[in-house]
Structure 1
Amino acid sequence: MKPAVLTGVAAAALIAAAGGAFIADHVRRVGSIHLVTPAPAESAGAAIYYRDPDGKPFYSLTPKKTEDGRAYRPVPPGADLSFDNPAHETTSSEAADAEGDDRKIEYYRNPMGLPDTSPTPKKDSMGMDYIPVYEGEDTGDGSVKLSPGKIQRTGVQSERAVPRIIRTSVRVPGTIQLDERRVSVISMRAESWVQKVSNVTTGSAVKKGQPLMEIYSPAISSAAAEYISTINSPNTTTPERYGRGSRQRLMNLDVPDGAIVAMERSRVVPIAIEWTAPRDGIVLERNAIEGMRAQPGEVLFRVADTSVVWAVVDVAERDLGVVRVGQPVTVRARSFPGRTFAGKISVIYPQVNRETRTARARVELANPDYALLPDMYIDAEIDTDNPTPVLAIPESAVLDTGARQSVLVDKGEGRFEPREVKLGRRGNGYVEVREGVHDGEAVVVSANFLIDAESNLKAALKGFSEAGSQP
């Protein structure tokens, strides 16, 4: 077939517009394009364009001169670009021989990864050379061998599998809640009237024994009169013994111990009983109003001790397997950036929320300065570290297809073997290896996708050849 030649004004315009850089770049990248040495203009007819007399990549559609006055050389038709292979073009195997490679070539494989091989040099339908496979490169086990130069160019790096402590943490949101064991309610056990209320409001901090209000109750006054009468009786040699029943009646009406002791000292029945705070804490609710009538069971005050609070966090269902009671937790309140509160998981509630697919866990936190308030949003980090070292490799070494996980084991001397593995916990950039890799074996941690593609190609070629040998 005759060479296909770019001729005419269109070719000249293309060359003049693109410049020498375009031609040089394409000659470098596409081996099938070459420049034909131009013949003298006198013997080939009219020129189609003009080029620099020194061979520099400068062209012109009209006659032109250089800066020193020399004329550009005319290029006639027939001395333009040709797209056929030059006679002196070398194949990939010849190039390898020219470089002094004395390895024996076993066969040639398709450059696009198709299951097609050839015993002799060959080109595919696009004109690309088949790639030679040298003796010893195809082991039949899916492994691949790379030359030191290719390993350096692709940036292949390996790291040994060694026992490590996998540090993992579960980050969860939550809220601050009151400790249910530190909440007290003040209510009457008999019909009463509020005589006086102390200067205590919702949100006030109170101490145990601090007066909150004065209460008058007919039932309490009757029980108090009976008790005082008993201990004041002249016929009673041991008033404490005989007045034990009356005193118990006052206790059953929830009269504060301080008020009972005051009666015993004064031997007088008071008109109103002073009611005090049962614990240190914050007044969360005040319903007592002077002069009001309080029915039995009606809440007049609610006091909570907030020196210890709960952080109730929502743990995702997928993380429940690594969360245990007693694990340390670091809590950060969004209201106090940079500050942390330490605690431990005390309870994991035995129920999963149907809508959010989370389970609640409870963390007890010390709150000495009362910075953590009920219903405050927090972020918690649960430390699920296991102090026992496990065999681990970098996460970047794992080739995960979804259905399987594999790594490339560095066998040395440029040989890499793909191997399926079973993984465990992840954390801190490492992953536990339960099966597939032994202690001390090196695995590829960078450029492993390139090697894996090469390995898969070899395995596909082997499977194709085995299938072709069957009848």
Structure 2
Amino acid sequence: MINRLLAVVLLAAGVGAGYWLAQKPAAALPDKAALYWYDPMYPQQKFDKPGKSPFMDMQLVPRYAESTADNHAVQIDPQVAQNLGVRLATVSRDVLTPTLELSAILAFNERDVAVVQARAAGFVERVYARAPGDVLQAGAPLADLLIPEWVAAQEEFLAVRRSGDASWLAAARQRLRLSGMPADVITRMERSGRVQSVLTITSPLAGALQTLDVREGMTVAAGQTLARINGVDPVWLQVAVPQAQAAGVAVGQTVQSRFVGWPGKTFNGSVSAILPATAADSRTVQVRVELRNPDGALRPGMTAQVRLAQSSTQSVLRVPSEALIRTGKRVLVMLAEEGGHYRPVEVEVGTESQDQSVIISGLQEGQQVVASGQFLLDSEASLRGISAPSSGPSDMSLQPGRQP
């Protein structure tokens, strides 16, 4: 609260100083022709005649030709600048090695899914002690199904085998396969010579049981889904990358991830896919990272902090991100010049990494920008009608005002 009050006091002092400085040329240069008149509290509007401001209860201030020589910079005494906490930073050139720090959520690998269906109509004789969420090994039994139509087909096969006709035996075996009978059931039936009417449904892979839709005594139809199993090795990390930084992400890129449940441990993976659509609500690109999980320590639903290290040999200019003044339409910095002059400059900003922003255009290596206190200087510049030249159409032309 104290800091906020101090900021308000400093801002009010800057406004008052700006108005006092704006009034000086009127007294110092009474015989000079004025270029235009303006309100120091609203310097964007320019008037072609003197009079009272329609915005504030004060007289309009003239702007003279002599005063335009330093119209693009604010001069602050070094002692005042020190009292305001003005801190400078040098524009440096460095090799761009951006690192993205993002949050992510762990999800199942949707490529490693098994759906178990009934091969033929039958009845559920037994359901093993399983429930959704259980982690199963490959081949773990789920339920026993009694399939009556297989009984007649197997008895026919055994009778043909006793006849010794090889062509008929091959046809009978083919009929068993077409009825949906698994190869291991046919093999057991041939070796034992007995009808195998009960089929044990097992998990085709190791993973987490998602659904189990069978109950003892129920009737199932051919093709009915009985269970769904999802593999847990590998798993996916779903990372939401801001679209402004998505250009630096590539398939195969190494990713480091850390989980709250495993403090001090880092899990390494790689980008397996960059989804083609951008999330409409967050304007982010969904990136899929694949992580090995042989011991099952990583569980879908866990949150993680990931680091995407990008390699680049491009030399770029960088400034502290705190030096940027974002107006909503453009980005400015306060450029420090000799003699305590500060000038607003429009810059084009690139990626941001480790509190440093890349400057695409607007600055040169070795220049100094204000990293702290720049908002007070920008307010003072606005009061004096000083603005950075825009890269778009100029809006600084004289606008005739209406005398109140």
TM norm. shorter chain > 0.5 = yes
The 3 A distance-change label for structure 1 pair 146 and 269 is same
CA distance in 2, matches of 1:177, 1:401: 39
TM-superposition CA deviations, 1:36-86 (whole Å, max 9, x none): xxxxxxxxxxxxxxxxxxxxxxxxxxxxxxxxxxxxxxxxxxxxxxxxxxx
CA distance in 1, matches of 2:217, 2:361: 78
Matched with 1:437 is 363
The 3 A distance-change label for structure 1 pair 372 and 248 is farther
SS at match of 2:23: coil
The structure with the larger Rg is 1
Do the aligned residues in 2 keep the contact of 1:166 with 1:428 (CA within 8 Å)?
Answer: no
Structure-to-structure mapping, 1:244-263, within 5 angstroms: 244-263=170-189
Matched with 2:119 is 189
What's the offset of the Cα at 1:140? Answer: 3.5
Matched with 2:203 is 277
Q: From 92, 97, 122, give the equivalent of 1:161.
A: 92
Structure-to-structure mapping, 1:141-156, within 5 angstroms: 142-143=72-73, 155-156=86-87
What's the offset of the Cα at 1:280? Answer: 1.9
CA distance in 1, matches of 2:91, 2:325: 16
Which amino acid in 2 is paired with 1:181? Answer: R
The 3 A distance-change label for structure 1 pair 253 and 328 is farther
* Unaligned segments of structure 2, at least 5 residues: 1-17, 30-66, 387-397, 399-404
Do the aligned residues in 1 keep the contact of 2:248 with 2:310 (CA within 8 Å)?
Answer: no
CA distance in 2, matches of 1:452, 1:270: 87
CA distance in 1, matches of 2:142, 2:193: 24
Matched with 1:15 is none
Which amino acid in 2 is paired with 1:282? Answer: A
Matched with 1:178 is 108
What's the offset of the Cα at 1:434? Answer: 1.0
Do the aligned residues in 1 keep the contact of 2:109 with 2:234 (CA within 8 Å)?
Answer: yes
Matched with 1:116 is 25
CA distance in 2, matches of 1:277, 1:357: 40
* Unaligned segments of structure 1, at least 5 residues: 1-108, 121-136, 461-466
Matched with 1:393 is 319
SS at match of 1:181: coil
Which amino acid in 2 is paired with 1:224? Answer: Q
Which amino acid in 1 is paired with 2:23? Answer: L
CA distance in 1, matches of 2:236, 2:72: 56
Do the aligned residues in 2 keep the contact of 1:259 with 1:274 (CA within 8 Å)?
Answer: no
What's the offset of the Cα at 1:420? Answer: 2.5
What's the offset of the Cα at 1:349? Answer: 4.3
Matched with 2:149 is 219
SS at match of 2:357: strand
Q: Given the two structures, how large is their TM-score scaled by the length of structure 1?
A: 0.56
CA distance in 2, matches of 1:221, 1:191: 12
* Greater per-residue strand proportion: 2
What's the offset of the Cα at 1:348? Answer: 4.5
CA distance in 1, matches of 2:111, 2:380: 65
Paired residues in the alignment total 335
Q: Given the two structures, how large is their TM-score scaled by the length of structure 2?
A: 0.64
Which amino acid in 1 is paired with 2:182? Answer: P
Q: From 265, 284, 300, give the equivalent of 2:191.
A: 265
What's the offset of the Cα at 1:195? Answer: 3.7
Do the aligned residues in 2 keep the contact of 1:283 with 1:303 (CA within 8 Å)?
Answer: yes
What's the offset of the Cα at 1:250? Answer: 3.3
TM-superposition CA deviations, 1:307-339 (whole Å, max 9, x none): 233344556677666665555555555655666
Q: From 374, 378, 386, give the equivalent of 2:303.
A: 378
CA distance in 2, matches of 1:458, 1:204: 71
The 3 A distance-change label for structure 1 pair 418 and 312 is closer
Matched with 1:59 is none
Matched with 1:234 is 164
TM-superposition CA deviations, 1:348-407 (whole Å, max 9, x none): 444456666666554433333334444x25245463745344221112333444444333
The answer to whether 1:301 aligns with 2:232 is no
Counting aligned pairs with the same residue, the percent is: 28
The 3 A distance-change label for structure 1 pair 384 and 243 is farther
Do the aligned residues in 1 keep the contact of 2:249 with 2:310 (CA within 8 Å)?
Answer: no
Which amino acid in 2 is paired with 1:157? Answer: L
- Output the aligned Cα RMSD: 4.4
Do the aligned residues in 2 keep the contact of 1:161 with 1:443 (CA within 8 Å)?
Answer: no
What's the offset of the Cα at 1:194? Answer: 3.2
